[in-house]
Amino acid sequence: MALTIEIDHAKTRRLAAATTGQPVVPQAVKGRIRRIKWVVLLLTLSIYYITPFLRWDRGPNAPDQAVLLDFAHGRLYFFFVEIWPQDLYLVTGLLVLASTILILTNALAGRLWCGLACPQTVWTDLFLLVERLIEGDRRQRLKNLDAPLGVKRVMQIVAKHSAWLLISFATGGTLIFYFTDAPELLRSFARGDVSANALGWIAVFAGTTYGLAGFAREQVCTFMCPWPRLQGAIWDPEAFTVNYRDYRGEQRMSAKKAAELRLQGKPAGDCVDCNLCVTVCPIGIDIREGPNFACINCGLCVDACDSVMSKLGRPRGLIDYESWDNIERGRRAEPPVNRLVRPKTVGLTVACLVLTAAIVFSFMARTDAALSVQHDRDPLAVRLSDGSVRNAYTVKLLNKSSVARTYALSVSGVDAKIAIVGNDGLAPIEVPADGSEAVRVTLTAMSPREADVVFTARDETGTTILSAKDRFVER
C-alpha cells in the first residue's frame, strides 16, 4: 500500500486558523506521557541552570569551571575533557556521532528528541505552564483572545509577560555563564559592573527565548527547524511513532450510538470524534489524518485519547506509539510485529559504537604538545667552503598545557652537527604555557648524503617525547 506523508500543516486546523485568525492554543492534559515530559523538563532545565556553577579542579593556572567555552583562550572544557583549536576534529566527530544517534532514534521512535528534550519543546512547555497558571486553560485563553482589556485582563497580560521575560533573562544570563567564570560574573551582576558586551549578548539570548517560546512556538518546529524537512527521506514505517489505529477507531460516532450498535452485534468505531487529540496537540495537527511531518511525537494526544477511552470503558491505545506497518497489519486483521532490531537499526548502532570508539581513541592518543619541522626551500642546501653541506629548518614547538616547558632538541638519521641559530649551542628551548616557540635549526654534514632526518624534542621531565621527520639533501 502506498503511503503519502502529509506535508500540509494540519489541514483541518490550518483552515480553521485561516478563518478565525487564532493561534494554536493547546489544552492541558494529564497522563503517563505528560508525567514523563514533566520529569524530562525538570531534568533538562536543572542541568542547564546548574551546570555552569559546577567546579572541576584542573590544577594551577587552569579554570576550575566544569563546563566552560573559553573562546578567549581557545579552549573548550567539559569536566576532565579539554579541547584545543587543534582538536576541532574531535568536535566534528562528536557532531557526526550526535547526528547518527538522532537518526538511530528516528529509526526507533521517530522524532522522540523533538517531543521530549528539544530546547524549543522544553521552554515552550515552561512558557505554556506559566500561561495556564495565570490565564487559565485552553477554553479561558480562547475567550481572552477576544475579551475587552479590563483591569483583570491587563494584570494577567502584565503578569504573564513579566514571568516570560524573567525566565528569558535567566536563560540568557545562564547561557553567558558557559562562556566565562559563572560565580565571578554573578558577583559582577550583584556589583552592577557587568560589561556592555555581556549585557548585549544576554539581551540577544533573552529576546530569542522570549520570541521563540512565547510567540513562534509550533512555527519553529514546523517551518524553521530543518529536521521535519528530512522526515520524507528518513521516515521509517517500522519506527514506533504516534499513530491512530484507524482500523479500530473508524467509523467515528457518538459513544451512545456505538454502544447501541455493539449491542446489536454490529461493528462500531471507538473514536467518538471528541477532537481532544487535536486540542492538546502543541503543533495543532490531527493525528487521525495519518502521518504528518509536523508531528513531534510528544505523545500528548496518546494521554488525551487514553483518558477518553478509560471514561467510556473502552481499551486504551486507540492512539499510541505504534509502527505504521503494524497499523496496516491491523487493517488486514493480522497480529502486530515489532521489529526494533533490524538491519537498519543494527547498522546505525554499530556506526555509533565505531564513532564512539574512534573519538575515545583519538582523545586518549592525543598529546598536549606538538613538534613540526619545515625545510628551507630556497636554497634547499648550501655547500660550505670546507666541503660540508648545510640544511636549514624551522622547528616549531607547541605547548598546549597550562605550565611552561623546556625542551632539549636532538636529531637522528644523519651524521650532522646540529645548531640552533641565535642560541648558545644547544641550550634548551623554553616554550611558554599555552604558547609556541619557533627556532631556526641548521644541520651541517661533513660527509653529506640524502637521508631522512628525525628531530626529537624531550621535555625536562623526560615524560614527553616529540618527534617529526623531514629530509636532509646534499644539493
Write out the DSSP string of 383-442.
E-TTS-EEEEEEEEEEE-SSS-EEEEEEEESS--EEEETTSSTTPPEEE-TTEEEEEEEE
- Amino acid 356 reads T
> pLDDT confidence of 188, banded at 50, 70, 90?
confident
Distance (Å, whole) CA 127 – CA 168? 10
> pLDDT confidence of 127, banded at 50, 70, 90?
very high
pLDDT of 191 > 90? The answer is no
* Assigned C-alpha cell, 284: 495543532
Distance (Å, whole) CA 111 – CA 106? 6
The pairing of strands 241-244 and 319-322 is: antiparallel
* H or E segment and range at residue 309: helix 300-312
**Helices then strands, each counted (H, E), the chain:** 17, 14
Please compute the mean of the pLDDT values over residues 70-76 and round it to a whole number. 83
Distance (Å, whole) CA 237 – CA 17? 30
CATH topology of domain 369-472: Immunoglobulin-like (2.60.40)
Distance (Å, whole) CA 386 – CA 124? 81
Q: What is the pLDDT of residue 7?
A: 46
Ranges assigned E (strand) in 163-301: 241-244
Q: Report the percent of the chain where pLDDT is more than 90.
A: 49
Q: What is the pLDDT of residue 13?
A: 47
Q: How far is CA 192 from the centre of its chain?
A: 33
CB proximity list for 305: less than 8 A, separation 6 or greater: 276, 277, 316, 318, 319
CA atoms within 13 A on the CB side of 19: 6
Distance (Å, whole) CA 301 – CA 278? 7
Q: What is the pLDDT of residue 214?
A: 92
Give the tens place of pLDDT for each residue, 372-401: 999 988 888 898 888 889 999 999 998 888
Give the tens place of pLDDT for each residue, 5-53: 554 444 444 444 443 456 789 999 999 999 999 999 999 999 999 999 9
Q: Is the model's pTM score more than 0.95?
A: no
- Amino acid 198 reads A
> pLDDT confidence of 414, banded at 50, 70, 90?
confident
Q: What is the pLDDT of residue 255?
A: 87
Task: Provide DSSP, 432-474.
Answer: -TTEEEEEEEEEEESS---EEEEEEEEETTSS-EEEEEEEE--
Among the listed ranges 282-291, 302-311, 347-356, 459-468, which one has the minimum average pLDDT value? 459-468
Please compute the mean of the pLDDT values over residues 246-266 and round it to a whole number. 88
Please compute the mean of the pLDDT values over residues 94-120 and round it to a whole number. 92
Q: Report the percent of the chain where pLDDT is more than 70.
A: 95
Q: What is the pLDDT of residue 156?
A: 92
* Assigned C-alpha cell, 339: 521489529
- Amino acid 84 reads W
Please compute the mean of the pLDDT values over residues 56-78 and round it to a whole number. 86
Q: What is the pLDDT of residue 18?
A: 41
* Assigned C-alpha cell, 244: 491512530
Mean pLDDT value across the chain: 88
* Assigned C-alpha cell, 473: 639533501
Distance (Å, whole) CA 350 – CA 345? 9
Within the chain, all domains assigned CATH 2.60.40.10 are found at: 369-472
* H or E segment and range at residue 263: helix 255-263
Q: What is the pLDDT of residue 425?
A: 65
Distance (Å, whole) CA 344 – CA 336? 19
* H or E segment and range at residue 424: none
CA atoms within 13 A on the CB side of 349: 9
CB proximity list for 259: less than 8 A, separation 6 or greater: 268
Q: Are 365 and 407 in contact (CB under 8 A)?
A: no
The pairing of strands 405-412 and 451-459 is: antiparallel
